[in-house]
Chain A
Amino acid sequence: MSENSAVSRETYDIIVVGGGHAGIEAALAASRLQKRTLLITMKIDALGRASCNPAIGGLAKGHLVREIDALGGEMARATDATGIQFKMLNRSKGRAVWSPRAQIDKHAYSAYMKVVCEEQPGLSLYEDEAVAVLTDPPETKIVGVETRDGTVFSCVALVLTNGTFLNGLIHIGDKSFSAGRIGESASIGITESLVKLGFDTGRLKTGTPPRIKRSSVDFSKTTIQEGDETPEPFSFTTKDFNPPNEACYITKTNPTTHDIIQGAIEFSPLFSGKIQGVGPRYCPSIEDKVVRFSEKSSHQLFLEPEWTDAEQLYVNGFSSSLPEEVQLASLRSVPGLEKVEFIRPGYAIEYDFFPPSQLKASLETKRVSGLFFAGQINGTSGYEEAAGQGLMAGINASLRVDGKDPFILKRSEAYLGVLVDDLITKDTDEPYRMFTSRAEHRLLLRYDNAHFRLSQKGFGLGLVSSDTYQAVAEDMATTEKAEAFLEKTYIRAVDLESLGLEQTTSKDSYSLANLLRMPRVEVEHLKPLLPDWFSSIKPSLLSLIATNSKYRGYIEREQLQVERLSRHQNTAIPPQIDYMSIQAISVEARQKLQRIQPETIGQASRISGVSPADVSVLLIIIKKIVSRETS
């Protein structure tokens, strides 16, 4: 560092680069854990800016937000405070896959986050562009970061959350220009300084749809979609929840729209080969949909307000990098949008990411100690995925500063555990998004029990207040008491009819818990049989109790599966094993292990191509190494 001529300013415990969803959570967690923290962002006014859709949550993502809340993160509270429409998705299906989603007021959301950050004790903000990470020779330990204006900040731990900004390149038709997102500069320098340290880098692509003028839309030709009448907040701490319920509008593309797009396909940088980065298949551009699913004659479009009384609407489902005039012409063939006017066109953006197999489960890089990555820099997509990683990185950077063991969640404990574990053991070739199908313990990892699963951990870390934790603990006690009652109280089969339930002949009597396991039976049905104290249990908890009953058998089976897993799951693998020299492991496994260098047996076993036999051999090798070192 001394060879750098720049002025050394201040020293921090933790520096976070980037003020997006990941950076905010990282910086807040670090400062709340009493670490002297600096957040460097290119634009303080853009803190927490939602670059793409004006919504938080959604399937599987809503689970992440609840978990972030249970661990003391900010995203849920910010959403509750600034949401303008709340909706529980998948309500027609089982509760394991219910997931909350909210339309947010983007301006309010960003302003909320700015205030929270500014008011957070121990957190300083600095507006500039980070251009280089600084390490101690021989380049294995982080010592600081340098900004565009030549300032050098030193730190013990550095969290990089650069989003889509690293060498960001925006494409609209055949035009392309350097930018981090529309109207903001790209970040140049960080990638290069990381590559110099030996990191692998890759290129990804994502896109966003056009923003249109509300006054140019004929809403009489659209379908109105409103939120839930009794909305549920994201955060456990939100009280007196009474958010607005602003409408979204649905319309549809048609063959004319598709013809216009098809006719101009050669001008799409996606199809002309101009874009090299891989885009997400779950969030395809409209031109992708038209080409790949040519048999579909229509696609739904959602017109979503970007803030309260917004003149600006987001055209969800019409992400595109076609030339502006093609976007406009095709959109004008859509009912209600005949006279639509753009505020700005959709665009695609390419950016650098760092394959996350270079990370430990703490999100610290294996190569440079004290350096953490979180968010889109790890090849993920989505505000929620970013925020979750930011929180975990902020926690782990703090524990790093304290010289403590990292905080790692298991796949059976949280979607956050699935997220991190997937990232570090899988090869990402498109932006990673959370889906409920990625969680093998889906029935256990529900949105409704996130606080039961995680609040104690959040409290233990020091991120969840004692009051909040006490309230969760009380809920848990109530649940336990209620479940015990339901378990030991029986009803005769002949009396089922009196409850309005169908009488079945398979058993003479049922415990109430057993009744709840039947589809469509809720605590409400059992009311005549319940003692008075049941009526004081809040509805959300009654629903949780019923859900626990419904999934019990399946959850127990999944639990058995967890327990049967190797007791060596958490056995540490010593660093720097030369896998290529282990003849007793298959060649494919050797190569993968050599590249990924897993930290634990559990991680090794989840790498594709590594068989149980390979893992057995690995266990033997480790035991040999360890005993050689101790003798």
Chain B
Amino acid sequence: MQLTDNDTIAAISTPPGSGGIAVLRVSGPDALAAIHPLFSTPEKLAPRQAVFGHLTHPDLGEGIFDDCVVTFFKGPNSVTGEDLVEISIHGGAYLQHKLLDVLVLSPSVRLAGAGEFTLRSFLNGKIDLSRAEAVADLIHARDAAAHKNARQQLSGGLKALVESFAERLRHILVIIEAELDFSDQEINFTPTEKLLTPVLGVKAKTRDLIETYFYGKRLEDGFRVPIIGSPNSGKSSLFNLLLGQDRAIVTNQAGTTRDTIEKGFIFADHTVVLVDTAGIREAGVQAEISGVGRSKDEISRADFIIQVSAPDTEPLSLELPEDLETIDVYNKIDMDKTPPEGYDIYLSCNTRQGLDELKKMIYSHVVNISNAGVDGVIISSERHKDALRRFYTQLEACERAVLDALGPEYIASDIRLALDVLGEITGETTPDDILNQIFAGFCVGK
């Protein structure tokens, strides 16, 4: 793997988790270019000026993603000594990661490595020399931690799976390189078209694996289960009941919960994050409008939802995504002797009737999701997802090269780059590895 420090890097620079405000930093020659397509008023950006605006981009979802404050620091007058852009957004963990995700989708920006911002600061003379050793130790420690972490993540099926990708690509590369470097010899070469099948196979599995990130992240952060319903259907009561404590403010006045409240609890070995939301209706007061917006946002990130109805509330005036798994709960069953049919659970928060059934149903949903994955493998590391996504892009290029009959040297170039990317997860493939396999597999030499 080559050392690159001439490119643009991005990372979340506030501590992990949800806070009031999160700051993302982008440093390097393309820092300004990276924020341009996302920011509402990029033309206002001038060195050392905080500019308020909002973020919109198709990849960030429909409409306005979030309000933000963007500050541009022109190198060398920045903390890293390079062009640097700081983006402050609202602190939700989801928002932070989603934004970072979209930033590093740009080919000129990559995820920062361990200690990279600090290293650049140091190399550009922004940190006092007396801190040199501390920086070195920091990089070493982070690298060691990252390695340990990576090893742990790689200990199971992921390592085997990614290694199998690399192996299949190496096999193709060996055939192509043998053909290019030993074509003057008597070897029966595989037609290029035949190489497409394994590439497509790896590509499909890679796509599936990237998609498991969603679940992988859930395994780490917890499964998000918002409780959705019309105002005063008893969402907060249910929230408290499941958590076994009075976390949410429960009143009998409709519209009490104006913001979302979330709380994780361990359930069937997995963390489930219950989210109490504002009731969904045509909102009246201003504070409720933003609360309802957040509820909709919660739905879009949900693994599945608990939808609560009650005898004394209006039916839900909201269209839910078709593929969203839903547990339909009919609450306040103690108030209704003839409940309507068609609900999954009939529950009373007062008498706890139906509570065990609800828990069982939550459990089966969680287990269902946990079993998703490619060959039982799911990914949860941002770094892995980033690498796999770039790997995927490279495989697409490779596929095009084969389909366009560009010739083996093009395909080899694509596969080499793909293997380089994969090397970030599983260890690099060197030209010697390929030559070794050629010598082992083919009788070369006149």
A residues lining the B interface (CB < 8 Å): 58-60, 89-90, 92-94, 96-97, 101, 280-284, 289, 292-293, 296, 299-300, 302, 316-317, 319, 426, 435-438, 440, 442-443, 518-519, 554, 557-558, 561, 563-568, 583-585, 601, 605-606, 608, 611-613, 615-617, 619-621, 623-624, 627
Q: Which residues of B contact A624 (CB under 8 A)?
A: 129, 132-133
Say yes or no: A566-B6 contact (C-beta < 8 A), given A283-B445, A519-B406: yes
Instruction: Show 15 residue pairs from A and B whose CB-CB distance is below 8 angstroms, ordered by the A residue.
Output: A59-B184, A60-B181, A93-B409, A96-B409, A97-B180, A282-B439, A284-B444, A435-B181, A437-B435, A564-B6, A585-B140, A616-B119, A620-B123, A620-B136, A624-B133
Query: Told that A565-B6, A615-B3 touch, could you supply 17 new A-B pairs with CB distance under 8 A?
Result: A59-B182, A89-B184, A90-B180, A93-B409, A282-B435, A283-B446, A293-B443, A299-B186, A299-B443, A316-B446, A317-B445, A435-B177, A584-B136, A584-B140, A619-B119, A619-B123, A620-B139
Q: Which residues of B contact A89 (CB under 8 A)?
A: 183-184
In angstroms, how far is the closest chain A Cβ from the Cβ of B412?
8
Q: Nearest residue in B to A628 (C-beta to C-beta)?
A: B129
Q: Which residues of A contact B446 (CB under 8 A)?
A: 283, 300, 302, 316-317
CB-contact partner of B413 in A435, A438, A558, under 8 A: A558
Q: Nearest residue in B to A435 (C-beta to C-beta)?
A: B181
CB-contact partner of B181 in A293, A436, A583, under 8 A: A436
Say yes or no: A519-B405 contact (C-beta < 8 A), given A59-B184, A60-B181, A612-B113: yes
> What sequence of 0s and 1s flags, for each residue 261-285 of chain B, a beta carbon within 8 Å of any chain A beta carbon?
0000000000000000000000000
Asked if B5 and A437 make an inter-chain contact with CB atoms under 8 angstroms apart, the answer reads no
Asked if A613 and B431 make an inter-chain contact with CB atoms under 8 angstroms apart, the answer reads no
Say yes or no: A566-B4 contact (C-beta < 8 A), given A293-B443, A620-B119: yes
Asked if B413 and A443 make an inter-chain contact with CB atoms under 8 angstroms apart, the answer reads yes
CA distance A616 to B405 in the complex (A): 41
Q: Which residues of A contact B183 (CB under 8 A)?
A: 59, 89-90, 92-93, 97
Q: Which of B1-58 contact A (CB under 8 A)?
A: 1-7
| Chain B residues within 8 Å of chain A by Cβ, number | 53
Q: Which residues of A contact B132 (CB under 8 A)?
A: 620-621, 623-624
Say yes or no: A613-B139 contact (C-beta < 8 A), given A93-B183, A436-B180, A619-B123: yes
Asked if A437 and B180 make an inter-chain contact with CB atoms under 8 angstroms apart, the answer reads yes
In angstroms, how far is the closest chain B Cβ from the Cβ of A414?
16
In angstroms, how far is the closest chain A Cβ from the Cβ of B210?
22
Q: Which residues of B contact A59 (CB under 8 A)?
A: 180-184
CB-contact partner of A605 in B2, B113, B119, B139, under 8 A: B2
In angstroms, how far is the closest chain A Cβ from the Cβ of B343?
53
CA distance A296 to B113 in the complex (A): 49
CA distance A129 to B2 in the complex (A): 44
Q: Which residues of B contact A585 (CB under 8 A)?
A: 140
In angstroms, how far is the closest chain A Cβ from the Cβ of B434?
6
Asked if A282 and B3 make an inter-chain contact with CB atoms under 8 angstroms apart, the answer reads no
CB-contact partner of B435 in A96, A435, A608, under 8 A: A435
Q: Nearest residue in B to A250 (C-beta to C-beta)?
A: B186
Asked if B416 and A94 make an inter-chain contact with CB atoms under 8 angstroms apart, the answer reads no
Asked if B6 and A282 make an inter-chain contact with CB atoms under 8 angstroms apart, the answer reads no
Q: Which residues of A contact B179 (CB under 8 A)?
A: 93
CB-contact partner of B114 in A284, A292, A299, A613, under 8 A: A613
Asked if B410 and A94 make an inter-chain contact with CB atoms under 8 angstroms apart, the answer reads yes
Asked if B129 and A94 make an inter-chain contact with CB atoms under 8 angstroms apart, the answer reads no
> What sequence of 0s and 1s flags, for each residue 414-431 of chain B, a beta carbon within 8 Å of any chain A beta carbon?
001100000000000011
In angstroms, how far is the closest chain B Cβ from the Cβ of A383?
15
CB-contact partner of A623 in B7, B123, B139, B416, under 8 A: B123
Q: Nearest residue in B to A567 (C-beta to C-beta)?
A: B6
In angstroms, how far is the closest chain B Cβ from the Cβ of A588?
13
CA distance A616 to B132 in the complex (A): 11
CB-contact partner of A617 in B136, B180, B435, B443, under 8 A: B136
Q: Nearest residue in B to A519 (C-beta to C-beta)?
A: B405
Q: Residue B164 at the A interface, CB < 8 A?
A: no
Asked if A611 and B416 make an inter-chain contact with CB atoms under 8 angstroms apart, the answer reads no
CA distance A59 to B183 in the complex (A): 9
Asked if A568 and B180 make an inter-chain contact with CB atoms under 8 angstroms apart, the answer reads no
In angstroms, how far is the closest chain B Cβ from the Cβ of A520?
8
Say yes or no: A437-B139 contact (C-beta < 8 A), given A300-B186, A443-B409: no
In angstroms, how far is the closest chain A Cβ from the Cβ of B426?
14
Q: Which residues of A contact B373 (CB under 8 A)?
A: none
CA distance A619 to B183 in the complex (A): 43
A-B contact count (CB 8 A): 166
Q: Residue B137 at the A interface, CB < 8 A?
A: yes
Q: Which residues of A contact B404 (CB under 8 A)?
A: 518-519
CA distance A283 to B123 in the complex (A): 47
Say yes or no: A289-B443 contact (C-beta < 8 A), given A93-B409, A616-B115, A620-B119: yes
In angstroms, how far is the closest chain A Cβ from the Cβ of B397?
9
Asked if B6 and A563 make an inter-chain contact with CB atoms under 8 angstroms apart, the answer reads yes
Q: Which residues of B contact A436 (CB under 8 A)?
A: 180-181
Asked if B409 and A97 make an inter-chain contact with CB atoms under 8 angstroms apart, the answer reads yes
Q: Nearest residue in B to A520 (C-beta to C-beta)?
A: B405
CA distance A300 to B446 in the complex (A): 7
Asked if B143 and A611 make an inter-chain contact with CB atoms under 8 angstroms apart, the answer reads yes
In angstroms, how far is the closest chain B Cβ from the Cβ of A171?
18
Q: Nearest residue in A to B182 (C-beta to C-beta)?
A: A59
CA distance A567 to B6 in the complex (A): 6
Q: Which residues of B contact A440 (CB under 8 A)?
A: 416, 431
Say yes or no: A554-B410 contact (C-beta < 8 A), given A568-B5, A620-B122: yes
Q: Which residues of B contact A621 (CB under 8 A)?
A: 132, 136
CB-contact partner of A438 in B123, B407, B410, B431, under 8 A: B431
CA distance A584 to B119 in the complex (A): 14
Enumerate the 8 nearest inter-chain pairs by beta-carbon distance, A residue then B residue, closest first: A613-B143, A584-B140, A281-B439, A293-B443, A94-B407, A283-B445, A437-B177, A317-B446
Q: Residue B135 at the A interface, CB < 8 A?
A: yes
Say yes or no: A93-B408 contact (C-beta < 8 A), given A621-B136, A627-B129: yes
Asked if A437 and B185 make an inter-chain contact with CB atoms under 8 angstroms apart, the answer reads no
Q: Nearest residue in A to B130 (C-beta to C-beta)?
A: A624
Q: Which residues of B contact A289 (CB under 8 A)?
A: 443, 445
Q: Which of B182-239 contact A (CB under 8 A)?
A: 182-186
Q: Which residues of B contact A568 (CB under 8 A)?
A: 3, 5, 123
CA distance A443 to B401 in the complex (A): 14
CA distance A299 to B445 in the complex (A): 10
CA distance A90 to B407 in the complex (A): 12
Q: Nearest residue in A to B6 (C-beta to C-beta)?
A: A567
Q: Which residues of B contact A293 (CB under 8 A)?
A: 443
Q: Which residues of B contact A615 (CB under 8 A)?
A: 3
Q: Which residues of A contact B113 (CB under 8 A)?
A: 612-613
Q: Which residues of A contact B185 (CB under 8 A)?
A: 300
CA distance A442 to B183 in the complex (A): 16
Asked if A613 and B140 make an inter-chain contact with CB atoms under 8 angstroms apart, the answer reads yes
Q: Which residues of B contact A96 (CB under 8 A)?
A: 409
CA distance A519 to B401 in the complex (A): 10
CA distance A62 to B3 in the complex (A): 31
Asked if A567 and B439 make an inter-chain contact with CB atoms under 8 angstroms apart, the answer reads no
Residue from B3, B137, B443 having most chain A Cβ neighbours under 10 A:
B3
CA distance A293 to B407 in the complex (A): 29
Asked if B122 and A623 make an inter-chain contact with CB atoms under 8 angstroms apart, the answer reads yes
In angstroms, how far is the closest chain A Cβ from the Cβ of B27?
14
In angstroms, how far is the closest chain A Cβ from the Cβ of B369?
35
Q: Which residues of B contact A101 (CB under 8 A)?
A: 184
Q: Which residues of A contact B114 (CB under 8 A)?
A: 613
Q: Which residues of B contact A92 (CB under 8 A)?
A: 183
Residue from A97, A443, A615, A616 having most chain B Cβ neighbours under 10 A:
A616
Residue from B132, B185, B409 having most chain A Cβ neighbours under 10 A:
B409
Q: Nearest residue in A to B444 (C-beta to C-beta)?
A: A282
Q: Nearest residue in A to B184 (C-beta to C-beta)?
A: A89
Residue from B7, B181, B430 having most chain A Cβ neighbours under 10 A:
B181
In angstroms, how far is the closest chain A Cβ from the Cβ of B10?
15
Q: Which residues of A contact B116 (CB under 8 A)?
A: 616
CA distance A518 to B177 in the complex (A): 22
CA distance A90 to B412 in the complex (A): 15
